[in-house]
Amino acid sequence: MNRRNFLKKAGIGVAASAAFGPVFAQAQPTVRWRLTSSFPKSLDTLFGGAEEFAQRVAELTGGKLQIRVYQAGEIVPGLQVLDAVQQGTVEMGQTASYYYVGKSQALAFDAGVPFGLTYRQQNAWMYHGGGIGLFRSIFADFGIIQFPAGNTGVQMGGWFRKEIKSLADLKGLKMRIPGPGGQVMSRLGVVPQVLAGGDIYPALERGAIDATEWVGPYDDEKLGFYKVAKYYYYPGWHEPGTQLTLYVNLKEWQKLPKEYQQAIEVAASEVNLTMQAKYDQLNAAALQRLIKNGVRLRKWPAEVLKAAQKAAFEWFEEESAKDATYRKVYTAWKKFREEQYRWFGVAELGYEQFAFPAF
């Protein structure tokens, strides 16, 4: 897509983009915001997405909308971003919405759910399938407007101290796995734990947990999991395309000049694209380094995958029967997923099964 078309898609025309210059900068007020992230600065792709976003907003507004980015724990803990934005402690937050399923299980679909949408499918749903409008109506109840702003792509299945050869090996295992993935794992006998990124390695090292999932080779290598758990499982059925989201306090959003609002939308869309591109490039090299360091790649047993898929959709249906908001989101998501799977099964999978070498 060329720049002209991109700006049109993002809701801002070429004429408006030209306004992001000296005349624009002089005409608008200087606004200073704070953005708190769920991630530590050491995770330069995740946290770096927030920094890149803030930089692009500053560039697009001639330095007039200044957003200072804080890592998890500097203002609030990593899992309290939604509360911080809702309460006005900060104007913005960067997070994954499945951290807040305690407030509404439906929020998980704003991030990613087991056996769900890939990165491309999630984007198609959000931008052209009604997903953004659906979630903005939900987040409005929290006093928040949300923007897709990054994706990890298909994740890995997790790090384990011992090899998983069957369903029986999962029984009683303490594993860091949040959101719907944790719900499904609990049905397979796992005891799920919810920990922020910076707390996982110490817990794994001292044996407080037996296993963990995080993202993929690049981020997992940075957190050092391979030093204390050698078995690395794939595929990440629990998170096939996890979206990161920017939260903006709705009252603060409404105070902004329209041009600043447009700058936020454009910058979020850019980061949504570039984060996935970075992951695709970085994960390939990181995986090879991990293998050289003695990591043992293992594919999930078919028995586990089948049981997990069955448990996932049983849980979706149960939640749908209990809550009207969840049912509305799940119904829309399920219809979109079925359509996408038929198309991708013909085009993408048909090519990949032939072209991609297996381990």
Task: Of 88, 94, 110, give the one whose Cα is nearest residue 52.
Answer: 94
Is 213 a known ligand-binding residue? Answer: yes
304, part of any domain: no
Write down the pLDDT at residue 196.
80
175 with 209: CB under 8 angstroms? yes
327, part of any domain: no
Q: Greater confidence, 27 or 297? A: 297
Write down the pLDDT at residue 349.
87
Q: Reduced to 3 states, what is the DSSP secondary structure of residue 11? A: coil
Write down the pLDDT at residue 23.
46
22, part of any domain: yes
Q: Could you report the per-residue pLDDT of 66-86, keeping only the tens digit for each?
A: 999 999 999 999 999 999 999
13 pLDDT higher than 70: no
285 pLDDT higher than 60: yes
Q: Could you report the per-residue pLDDT of 159-171, keeping only the tens digit for each?
A: 999 999 999 999 9
Read off the pLDDT band of 6 (50, 70, 90): very low
83, part of any domain: yes
Beta strands in 98-178 (DSSP E): 144-151, 158-160, 174-176
Report which DSSP code applies to 117. -
Write down the pLDDT at residue 198.
80
Give the domain CATH number at 111.
3.40.190.170
Read off the pLDDT band of 20 (50, 70, 90): low
Assessment of whether the complete model's pTM goes beyond 0.85: yes
What is the residue-averaged pLDDT of the chain? 93
Is 214 a known ligand-binding residue? Answer: yes
Q: What is the largest CA-CA distance in the chain?
A: 67
Is 239 a known ligand-binding residue? Answer: yes
Contacts of 311-318 with CB under 8 Å at 24 or more apart are 311/184, 311/187, 311/188, 312/113, 312/114, 312/115, 312/180, 312/184, 313/115, 314/187, 315/180, 315/183, 315/184, 315/187, 316/113
Would you state the structure tokens that stand for residue 171, as one six-digit string? Answer: 């029984």
Write down the pLDDT at residue 178.
84
Domain extent for 108: 3-151+241-281
Write down the pLDDT at residue 4.
45
Q: Give how far the C-alpha of residue 218 lies from the chain's centroid of Cα atoms, to the nearest Å.
A: 15
331 pLDDT higher than 60: yes
114, part of any domain: yes
Is 253 a known ligand-binding residue? Answer: no
Q: Is 251 exposed, middle or buried (0-12, 13-18, 19+ CB in 10 A)?
A: exposed
352, part of any domain: no
Q: Greater confidence, 289 or 179? A: 289
Domain count, the chain: 1
126, part of any domain: yes
18, part of any domain: yes
Is 176 a known ligand-binding residue? Answer: yes
Q: Give how far the C-alpha of residue 144 lies from the chain's centroid of Cα atoms, to the nearest Å.
A: 17
